Amino acid sequence: AGLVPCPATPIGPACRLCERIGCLARAEPPVTRPLGLDEMVTGLSAFDFQ
């Protein structure tokens, strides 16, 4: 009985440059995409974008 391998979590170079959607560790929105602001929707991360 050993450890069960799990898939690697992809990471970006920095929050401002990374375009991964639904990142739980996101500290800032990406500079390359507009923010997706919708007061009726709560996303996985603090910053949702289009």
Q: Domain range spanning residue 33?
A: 12-50
pLDDT exceeds 70 at position 20: yes
* Mean pLDDT over each residue of the chain, to the nearest integer: 76
Asked if the structure places residue 7 within a domain, the reply is no
- Average the pLDDT over 22-47 and give the result: 73
pLDDT tier, 29 (very low <50, low <70, confident <90, very high otherwise): confident
* Total of domains in the chain: 1
Question: What's residue 8's pLDDT?
Answer: 83
Specify whether the CB–CB gap between 28 and 17 falls below 8 A. Answer: no
CA distance 43 to 45: 6
pLDDT at 34 over 80: no
Q: What is the pLDDT of residue 46?
A: 62
Cα–Cα dist 21/40, whole Å: 18
Residue 31 in contact with residue 45, Cβ under 8 Å?
A: no
Q: Is residue 30 part of a domain?
A: yes
Question: Any residues with CB less than 8 A from the CB of 30 and at least 6 apart, and which?
Answer: 15, 16, 17, 18, 19, 49
Q: What is the pLDDT of residue 50?
A: 61
